[in-house]
């Protein structure tokens, strides 16, 4: 079942999504060569808690192997879910930072890929095309469209630029929980999947690889890396489906 949000619930999702946007803007100001990923995680957690919210990813996944941090910090060939630790950002890296908040019981989910110092033209292009692909997907999040219209538009744009779309992980509904129906793949066939309705809230999150779309999971059980070790980029917004225009909720 896909939730349709209105009134007070929607205001609360808006607030949470705005807070996660503010958090990433703050984190962006601290992204530079020499900074440890654990430091970024610490200041993100403090920022979220000082705004009366809870880091949504911390402890996610239950008792077997709960996610241990506030941020996912994924460097270069890491696609998503990189665990912050003693690694330092270095000049030329690209770093995907994904963050989730719970504020008054409602979730916001947002990610961007940042450039660390001087980045090669080819990596800059990967990041810019991935960012644009998210905008192209968001344009499809309007009432009456099918959910796979989003992924179809993203995939066409990405592949026409010579990159590939990760298949193993997808976007999702978001609101009362971090992951709600429907799954929102970043690939697929136009005109298929659930019909969208105004008031649905989707986390759209293309993961784009420079080389093959194939990925694998590291031994930590979380970090997803490209199978060919080439770089990958990720952007994500929490988006409200509208009657004739989608609205990005994860903005400050």
Stretch that binds ligand MF3, among 47-55, 57-65, 148-156, 191-199 (CB under 6 A): 57-65
The answer to whether 71 touches 99, Cβ cutoff 8 Å, is yes
How many CB atoms within 10 Å of residue 15? Answer: 18
Strands 207-209 and 232-234: antiparallel
Which one of residues 9, 93, 109, 180 is an interface residue with Co ion (CB under 5 A)? Answer: 109
Report what 239 binds from ligand MF3, Co ion, none; CB cut-off 5-8 Å by kind.
none
- Residue 52 zone, left/alpha/beta (φ > 0; ψ -120 to 50; rest): left
3-state secondary structure of 121: helix
> Least distance from C-beta 212 to ligand MF3, angstroms?
21
| Interacting residues with ligand MF3 between 112 and 171 (CB under 6 A) | none
Stretch that binds ligand MF3, among 10-18, 29-37, 56-64, 133-141 (CB under 6 A): 56-64
Exposure class string for 30-51: b at 16+ Cβ within 10 A, else e: ebeeebebbebbebbbebbeee
Stretch that binds Co ion, among 80-88, 201-209, 212-220, 224-232 (CB under 5 A): 201-209
CA angle 179, 61, 199 (to 5 degrees): 10
Tell me how many residues contact Co ion (CB under 5 A).
2
Stretch that binds Co ion, among 26-34, 126-134, 148-156, 203-211 (CB under 5 A): 203-211
> Least distance from C-beta 203 to ligand MF3, angstroms?
6
Which one of residues 60, 128, 139, 190 is an interface residue with ligand MF3 (CB under 6 A)? Answer: 60
According to the binding rule CB under 6 A, does residue 67 interact with ligand MF3?
yes
Sequence length of the chain is 252
> Least distance from C-beta 121 to Co ion, angstroms?
29
> Least distance from C-beta 107 to ligand MF3, angstroms?
9
Taking residues 9 to 48 in sequence order and writing x for each that binds ligand MF3 by CB under 6 A, - otherwise, the string is ----------------------------------------
| Chain centroid to CA 224 | 14
User: What is the rounded distance in angstroms from the CA atom of residue 212 to the CA atom of residue 85?
Assistant: 27
DSSP string, 61-101: T-SSS----SEEEEETTEEE-PPPSS-B--TT-EEEEEEEE
Taking residues 102 to 121 in sequence order and writing x for each that binds ligand MF3 by CB under 6 A, - otherwise, the string is -------x-x----------
Which residues form the interface with ligand MF3 (CB under 6 A)? 57, 60-61, 67, 72, 81, 98, 109, 111, 172, 203, 205, 236
């Amino acid at each position: 079942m896909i939730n349709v949000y209105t009134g007070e619930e929607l205001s609360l999702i808006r607030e949470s999504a705005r807070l996660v946007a503010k958090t990433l803007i703050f984190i962006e100001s601290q992204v530079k060569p020499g900074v440890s990923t654990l430091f970024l995680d610490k200041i993100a957690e403090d920022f979220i808690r000082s705004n009366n919210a809870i880091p949504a990813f911390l402890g996610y996944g239950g008792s077997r192997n709960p996610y241990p941090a506030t941020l996912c910090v994924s460097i270069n060939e890491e696609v998503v879910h990189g665990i912050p630790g003693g690694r330092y950002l270095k000049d030329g890296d690209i770093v995907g930072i994904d963050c989730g908040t719970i504020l008054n019981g409602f979730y916001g989910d947002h990610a961007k890929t940042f450039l660390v110092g001087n980045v090669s033209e080819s990596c800059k292009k990967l990041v810019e095309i991935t960012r644009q692909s998210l905008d192209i997907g968001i344009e499809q999040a309007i009432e009456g469209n099918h959910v796979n219209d989003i992924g179809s538009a993203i995939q066409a744009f990405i592949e026409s630029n010579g990159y590939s779309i990760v298949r193993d992980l997808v976007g999702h509904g978001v609101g009362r929980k971090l992951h709600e129906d429907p799954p929102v793949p970043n690939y697929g066939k136009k005109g298929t999947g659930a019909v969208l309705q105004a008031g649905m809230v989707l986390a759209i999150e293309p993961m784009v690889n420079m080389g093959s779309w194939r990925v694998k999971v590291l031994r930590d059980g979380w970090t997803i890396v490209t199978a060919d070790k080439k770089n990958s980029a990720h952007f994500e917004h929490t988006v409200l489906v509208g009657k004739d225009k989608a609205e990005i909720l994860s903005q400050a």
